[in-house]
Amino acid sequence: MSAPRDTVGYRQMNEVVAYSDDLHVWVYYDQTDDALRYEAYVVDYNHRGEPSTLAFVIDEGVLSWESALGQHFIANDLRASGAKQSLWTIPRHTKATLVRAEFNLYLQLSEEDIHSLHRLFAREERRLKRRNRTRWTKRLHALGYDVIPSAY
């Protein structure tokens, strides 16, 4: 039996992604590998239209230590001693280990330093989003999404 003509079947209608609002970039310092990393991802929405979960990761990578963020880590001696050769040498990320300053960079910083670092992370997120707009938009189109600049 065929569907009536006035209904829309699965994937006949593309979902819409608002580049400014739905695509996010998470920039973070990986202490285990001593690397600045990023992940660009799209959020999903629940039945009330509120952001709910991660829909998918569209890109990931490693940032250069030459970036402003990397230079901040170097100038303030925030880098870990280097990559661990074995996962067995890394303590589990439990509450007991994360409250120890040697395993948690944030516990080594003042509140002012944390805010400064967060501003640098946010600046890097905006830079990555601007720099990769064409490539990430093409990937979203390839996945079947219509991309608009913003929902607002």
Question: What is the tens place of the pLDDT at every residue in 21-41?
Answer: 899 999 998 877 889 999 999
For Cα atoms 53, 56, 60, give the angle at the middle one, nearest 5 degrees.
120
Q: Which of 62, 63, 55, 40 is nearest to 135 (CA)?
A: 40
Q: How far apart are CA 71 and CA 7, in angstroms?
A: 56
State yes or no: pLDDT of 7 exceeds 80.
no
pLDDT value, residue 51: 84
Judge whether residue 94 has pLDDT over 90. Answer: no
Amino acid, single-letter form, for residue 104? N
At 44 the pLDDT is 85
**Would you give the distance in Å from CA 107 to the centre of its chain?**
22
Residue 97 or 46, more confident: 46
Longest dimension (CA), the chain: 69
In angstroms, rounded to a whole number, what is the distance separating the alpha carbons of residues 136 and 126? 14
pLDDT of residue 9: 52
What percentage of the chain carries pLDDT values higher than 70? 79
**Alpha-carbon span 63 to 74, nearest angstrom:** 14
Write the CA distances from 71 to 66, 79, 124, integer angstroms.
6, 10, 12
What is the pLDDT of the chain when averaged over all its residues? 84
Phi-psi region of 149 (alpha: psi -120 to 50; beta: other; left: phi over 0): alpha
Regarding beta strands 23-30 and 16-18, do their DSSP bridges make them parallel or antiparallel, or are they unpaired?
unpaired
Average pLDDT over every residue of 76-80: 87
